[in-house]
Structure 1
């Protein structure tokens, strides 16, 4: 399906789209084509859809994202997508800045497919995006979220306090690193620095209420230590889950945690 053919998408009843998954190319507000996948709930017809935002260098087709989608589909419909510069999506990654527009397009698609309640779940970079999206997309455009969960998200920008994050910054900021990102990691990264610097996740959190907010983080995260989730939770009205023994993002989220996340997002 082309983005032009889908346009803003035709509203349809949820009951008419539960026979199987579908793929689409969405068009963001700044004109970038984004690949997205819709999967109906496997257990019942539901008015809730979970939109999943992957981490840096991920995509809609990565095994960890597909596993998360399968688990969450036991409770709700699921939309996964690839951020700009990732997977089959066009454009280049801005590492959490303009990716808010990609998430907005995916949320609108879920609503236009007939889901009255749409919630967002983000991992790592995707966690920072769902926080900023929840704070910024609060109008009547159909792109707002009804609940948000951020897993392994940073609290602040430019963090280099761990070896893992120093490697990430090398990939993002160095010409050779961006070549590694493109050809080794399948991620096309914008060479231009942020101008202006976007609202940080910790600055976004106070703007999210009264939308329900959950912060989830592993105590063995090799990228962001636990002061990040604590800072996020303290910045606003948020529930905090510190997961014992958990590492980083979707790769470390086991089925038990994904099931709890689905319960929190769908059932409240």
Structure 2
């Protein structure tokens, strides 16, 4: 996929960073394996010295500076994790165009690599909605790179149009007028090209994650994906997967309240 714009922060060579930087917040631009520049933020643990870094993957139309993303990062830092957040390609200050979950695996890979280069012995990933599908595929495709995985409000399969919000999202992604709305209304730059080939689906990825601990979190009032999605993901994970169905919760990071974020942070740290 092509890269449309450069990130607005200084690009760093992550291999030059050492564990001394784990005490300091940092904002940098990373470069993915396919050359896209990705904005990223490192927030040290607020609770204790820990070897765990949580890499947080936001949902479609999110970014590193969205309030819900920053709120989740603070919550995880308060539970003892250092946190890496980043904007997917086509989002926020990152370059490139959104492929809505396909090449975003490379963005997550760059963020995980940075967490390791900062000296963290243990790295957990957590993703919301589109980010949830990305953390599942990343853990399957890059086995051994992470120590725990949590997917919140993630789809189980591609091309789902069974709810009104998902039909609207497909219009945004697939139609020229929708992509204009995405660019100027949602501040998300979307690649016009269809997937070729179609990436591994989340439910196909899940069996490849074991023995890494896997947590599936979903709200029973999610307007995008009904409960057959998390149940399918958990079933595909077998004994390695844990399922939390959250009463009253809607969709993704915007719907995650303080109590859920605290529990999720404890799981990611203790995994």
Q: Aligned equivalents of 1:94 and 1:175: distance in 2? A: 15
Q: Is the 8 A contact 1:120 1:148 kept in 2?
A: yes
Q: Aligned equivalents of 1:8 and 1:21: distance in 2? A: 15
Partner of residue 101 from structure 2, selected from 93, 96, 102? 96
Runs of 4+ in 1 over 2 A off after TM superposition: none
CA deviation after TM superposition for structure 1 residue 166, in Å: 0.2
Secondary structure of the residue aligned to 1:242 is strand
Paired residues for 1:1-268 under 5 Å: 2-3=10-11, 6-14=12-20, 16-18=21-23, 20-74=24-78, 75-138=80-143, 144-236=145-237, 237-268=240-271
Q: Aligned equivalents of 1:39 and 1:123: distance in 2? A: 19
Q: Is the 8 A contact 2:22 2:119 kept in 1?
A: no
Q: Aligned equivalents of 2:40 and 2:15: distance in 1? A: 13
Q: Which runs of 5+ in 2 are unaligned?
A: 1-8
Give the number of aligned pairs.
260
CA deviation after TM superposition for structure 1 residue 44, in Å: 1.5
RMSD of aligned alpha carbons: 1.0
Deviations 1:111-159 (A, max 9, x none): 10111101000000000000000000115xxxx1110000000000000
Deviations 1:82-125 (A, max 9, x none): 00000000000000000000000000001101111010000000
Compute the TM-score of the two structures, normalised by the length of structure 2. 0.94
Q: Aligned equivalents of 2:122 and 2:233: distance in 1? A: 25
CA deviation after TM superposition for structure 1 residue 11, in Å: 3.9
CA deviation after TM superposition for structure 1 residue 187, in Å: 0.1
Compute the TM-score of the two structures, normalised by the length of structure 1. 0.95
CA deviation after TM superposition for structure 1 residue 267, in Å: 1.0
